[in-house]
Amino acid sequence: MTPITTSLDALLTEEREAVLSEWLASMRHGTARTISGHDAQEAATILDAVIRGVRAGGEPARFEADPWSALRSALSDVSATRAAQGASSGETSRFVLAMKKPIFERVPPRLGSDAASITAALWWISELLDHAAQHTVDAYQRTREEIIVRQQDELLELSTPVVKLWDGVLAVPMIGTLDSSRTQHVMESLLQRIVETGSELAIIDITGVPTVDTLVAQHLLKTVTAIRLMGADCIISGIRPQIAQTIVHLGIDLQGIVTKASLADALALALKQSGYVVTRPKA
């Protein structure tokens, strides 16, 4: 260990409780967010990881090195927790940077009148905590991206459910804009359900699709082709007048594909093709 890390190790170890207390106190006065017991536990874990890294000979400029592995792990956990709770990346990094003040205040009394050593120690701890704050921002961003991807997947599941309408008849109500990823998801889900249920008819309802262009039509045609390759037939419902005109103007060829104006019409046709007859009971 260098003279600086030796001094910092002694300072942080001997005054650990005081540093923690002042760190959390500064956060209580500097943010509208309530500081909980969990925050105190997170702060203690981070400070202990700092002490461990200092004691292991870690250098701020090499923050990705092994001595700081426990600190990086602790910071990543804090970022993930706060991202899931809806806290901002700025609040998360400020939580880490708030550790500076209680440490800075204790460096001069520890090192006496040696201005050069004081400056070096302050720069050392400042550089370390700056790296730590940046790590929390990066980890927060990764966590938020993972959350967004997971939410998108969940929304995709909700927006493209495969519904069993009748024995041998499945339906997929499409809502929103169709793109390659959604079409692929719909195709996979529908084909899997066809295999699981042994259905022979699938209805793709596009009532909730705002517009149909060449790309959307291509996606629909690919889905219909995949369904037929599985030995099932397909009906496209929800062909509104505007969509019918658009398809004609674009010159999109839907020959060979059965289309209906509404899901009810498509279901009636599906039942008829399946050999069912629907009648009203006589009064």
Residue 45 has pLDDT above 50, yes or no: yes
The confidence score (pLDDT) of residue 211 equals: 79
Other Cβ atoms closer than 10 A to 249: 8
Query: How many CA atoms are closer than 13 Å to the CA of 22, on its beta-carbon side?
Result: 14
Other Cβ atoms closer than 10 A to 62: 11
- Using CA atoms, how far apart are residues 272 and 214, in angstroms rounded to an integer? 31
Q: By mean pLDDT, which of 93-102, 105-114, 145-154 is the weakest?
A: 145-154
β-strands 169-175, 163-166 pairing: antiparallel
pTM above 0.95, yes or no: no
Residue 30 has pLDDT above 70, yes or no: no
Q: By mean pLDDT, which of 29-43, 77-91, 193-207 is the weakest?
A: 29-43
Confidence of residue 70 (pLDDT cuts 50, 70, 90): very high
Per-domain boundaries in the chain: 3-153, 163-273
pLDDT top residue among 122 and 156: 122
The confidence score (pLDDT) of residue 32 equals: 47
Q: What is the CATH number of domain 163-273?
A: 3.30.750.24
pLDDT top residue among 212 and 70: 70
Q: What is the CATH number of domain 3-153?
A: 1.10.490.70
β-strands 258-260, 169-175 pairing: unpaired
Other Cβ atoms closer than 10 A to 71: 26
- Using CA atoms, how far apart are residues 216 and 236, in angstroms rounded to an integer? 13
